[in-house]
Amino acid sequence: MDISIKSNKVVIVQSCDADDNLYIYSGESKSIKYNDTKKFIKDIPMLFKNVKVVLFNIFRYNPKNEFKSNLHFCEAIKAKMDEHNIRHYFDSVKNVTHSLLFSNSKISIKTRNKVLVVVAVIETVQLLEYEYTENGYKETAIINLSINIQEDPKIAKEKILCSRNPKKIILVGNQDGKELMKFLKIALKSDNLIAFDYPPSCNSQSFFDEWTKWFMDKTFTKYFVMPSNTRTYILGSKIDGRNYSLITLDSLQILPFSTDITLRKLKEDLFYGYIEEDQSCRLISSEQKCHRNQIFLEIDAENFVSIRQNPIIFPKIKELLKQLNERKGCEIPVIGIMQNISVICVYKNGGYQFLDSWNGI
């Protein structure tokens, strides 16, 4: 049976918080549903062989016992897509939802102007401020506020806007916040307000069109939300069975991003992953052939994390053995010190050698 999807536009694979399924949207009236993640990965070459590009919105999907973590699941999908040269892009629930809001609102603003997204959640609102840049919408702030629908709407408006002066305000409701939504429509009423009682569906032709335009031409950023880290990434060291953080990267960091730390040579293992899911973390051996180790934590535009080690060797310390061996008749242990690095040289088997247990390489 031919299961391939035929589309000259983006196809969206999305998870749903309400169940354990993956849904594939291609602009048709019905979505394709998968509840077996390994079968989904196996079917990828056939499913997507005739599509232009696949957008994955699955960072909140729980693969249960089939994969150790969501990160492992996403990596398995990416590997299969790359193996068969199928174009793809992984994005977060927030970014996809807000890109939908911008495209459905048909807003058009100039660079450096701002848009405020107000999400109504029962008795609170979440404010997300975006600045439009030549690369798309950049998230600049996230704020949570408590709102009392019994208070004067003018007070609520002052709380929300404060000193902000957005060109557009996009208000989004949900099933459980109907009373709050009604109140906020009154409080924020203006020519700049665009209100959605519910988040719009991604299965709309206009959204497929806009996303396809961006993917084929990255300069088309009219509704594109710049990627930021959707997880709290960590690089650390495991000492005596306990985890110690070396670098932690919180949200709002625009991707791709790389940061680094330079340490003395560690005997302990390193680990990296993200804090929200312990099983995502991987152990790797720290570089031993070095005096110092520069360790990079790197996150690409699609939220895939990796680390890279750059061993640093001090040439003057390395030359120390040669200098000592040129001195005839000297066989006593020698201690060398440079930039808080110490080494011990011992005479053995007719020449000096670095003591392995003391910063030897």
Q: How confident is the model at residue 323 (pLDDT cuts 50, 70, 90)?
A: confident
- DSSP code of 286? P
Q: 114 vs 41, 43, 184, 227, 301, CA distance in Å?
A: 40, 42, 20, 17, 23
How many residues does the structure list for the chain?
Answer: 361
Tokens at residue 268, please? 């302990």
Question: Residue 142: what are its φ and ψ, rounded to 5°?
Answer: -130, 125
Residue 256: asked if its preceding bond is cis (omega within 30°), the reply is: yes
What one-letter code names the amino acid at 281?
C
Residues near 332 by beta carbon (within 8 Å), at least 6 away in sequence: 347
Segment (H or E) for 75 = helix 70-83
Percentage of the chain exceeding pLDDT 70: 99
Tokens at residue 36, please? 């077996």
- Spatial CA neighbour of 3 closest among 29, 27, 24: 24
- Spatial CA neighbour of 58 closest among 221, 249, 258, 302: 302
Torsion on CA atoms 337, 339, 342, 346, rounded to nearest 10: -50
- Give the pLDDT mean for 153-172: 95
93-97, 130-134, 204-208, range with the lowest pLDDT? 204-208
- CA 310 from chain center: how many Å? 23
- Say how far apart CA 356 and CA 289 lie, in whole Å: 10
What one-letter code names the amino acid at 347?
Y
pTM: 0.86
- Say how far apart CA 305 and CA 300 lie, in whole Å: 7
Q: Is the pLDDT of residue 356 over 80?
A: no
For the stretch 207-225, pLDDT in tens is: 999 999 999 999 999 999 9
Q: 191 vs 131, 187, 263, CA distance in Å?
A: 19, 13, 55
For the stretch 173-189, pLDDT in tens is: 988 888 999 999 999 99
Sign for the pseudo-dihedral over CA of 66, 67, 68, 69: negative
Segment (H or E) for 13 = strand 6-15
- Say how far apart CA 314 and CA 342 lie, in whole Å: 11
